[in-house]
């Protein structure tokens, strides 16, 4: 049965939703922009049958703490939130967990795997590029540069006002409209998202991820991993990794998969041809099947 709780960490309190037995292996689901724990409701119901399935609201979102400063949303803070939350559930040492993440959650998950590979039994990334690959694409690929122009819009000081206009009409159009039309979302889903976006400070918290991010199309060579992610020794991920990719993603283009094996030696990639960036909502059964297959292979 779905239940809710809060984990008090060193600097923030994170709200989370969970299903499954407390003594089961932890599988943590981390959402992206502009979502919240609710993104994973289908996965919580499914994987709660065999795991302790947990989906937090990231800092700045919905019912979690919303630190006021842009610098509160840098990668080291976000990685530490994941470490603190999973420690709250007893992970660390020999007690590893599986990390599943999409979009901004994937940015954090890649960084966590680079900094704390010994905490992870497996890493599952959904439409979120490895940082070295994304920097390459931003620096050298006009198509990805154009696809990423929205980042500058979200960094703009007036972004909150623009997105909240007309009871979040622009954000609804960006994220919900097509899925409502195609039946992936219901009116109840729309109400849940608008309620989350309406939490005081939530929209600013979500946008501060972009404002604090080290995205830089002008930068050439990627700096040492340790300069961006404390605890990371290189850009190589030493964790069994599954990458799922909706191939119709117009924000993060499929070229972000090219050369990924150079940074992730133990890698499986599953391309989902008719799905977009929002593949979790469009094809939850396919996503869940691939995750189950990966979990079975890693435990075999």
Catalytic residues: 103, 210, 277
In whole angstroms, how far apart are CA 103 and each of 22, 52, 124, 125?
Answer: 27, 22, 12, 8
Helices 104-115 and 75-88: crossing angle in degrees, nearest 10, is 80
Distance CA 260, CA 245 (A): 13
Residue 127's nearest CA partner among 7, 23, 243, 27 is 243
| Strands 267-272, 241-246: pairing kind | parallel
- Rounded to the nearest 5 degrees, what angle is found at the Cα of 112, between the Cα atoms of 107 and 116? 165
CB-based contact 108:85 (threshold 8 Å): no
Distance CA 168, CA 174 (A): 10
Distance CA 270, CA 44 (A): 21
In whole angstroms, how far apart are CA 47 and each of 30, 35, 73, 86, 114?
Answer: 14, 20, 29, 17, 25
């Amino acid at each position: 049965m779905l239940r809710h709780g809060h984990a008090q960490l060193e600097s923030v309190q994170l709200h989370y939703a969970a299903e499954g037995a407390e003594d089961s292996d932890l599988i943590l689901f981390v959402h992206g922009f502009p979502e919240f724990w609710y993104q994973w409701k289908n996965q919580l119901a499914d994987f709660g049958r065999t795991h302790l399935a947990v989906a937090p609201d990231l800092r700045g979102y919905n019912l979690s703490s919303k630190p006021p400063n842009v610098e509160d949303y840098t990668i080291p803070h976000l990685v530490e939130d994941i470490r603190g939350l999973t420690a709250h559930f007893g992970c660390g040492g020999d007690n590893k967990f599986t990390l599943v993440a999409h979009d901004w959650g994937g940015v954090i998950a890649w960084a966590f795997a680079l900094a704390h590979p010994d905490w992870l039994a497996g890493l599952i990334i959904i439409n979120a590029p490895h940082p070295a690959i994304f920097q390459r694409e931003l620096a050298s690929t006009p198509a990805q540069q154009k696809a990423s122009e929205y980042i500058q819009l979200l960094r703009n000081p007036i972004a909150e006002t623009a997105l909240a206009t007309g009871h979040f009409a622009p954000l609804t159009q960006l994220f919900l409209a097509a899925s409502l039309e195609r039946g992936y979302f219901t009116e109840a889903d729309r109400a849940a998202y608008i309620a989350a976006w309406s939490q005081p400070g939530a929209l600013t918290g979500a946008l501060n991820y972009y404002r604090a991010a080290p995205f830089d199309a002008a930068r050439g060579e990627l700096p040492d991993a340790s300069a961006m992610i404390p605890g990371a020794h290189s850009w190589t991920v030493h964790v069994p990794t599954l990458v799922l990719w909706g191939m119709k993603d117009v924000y993060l283009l499929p070229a972000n998969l090219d050369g990924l094996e150079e940074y992730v030696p133990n890698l499986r990639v599953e391309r989902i041809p008719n799905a977009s960036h929002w593949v979790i909502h469009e094809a939850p059964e396919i996503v869940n099947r691939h995750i189950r297959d990966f979990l079975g292979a890693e435990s075999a």
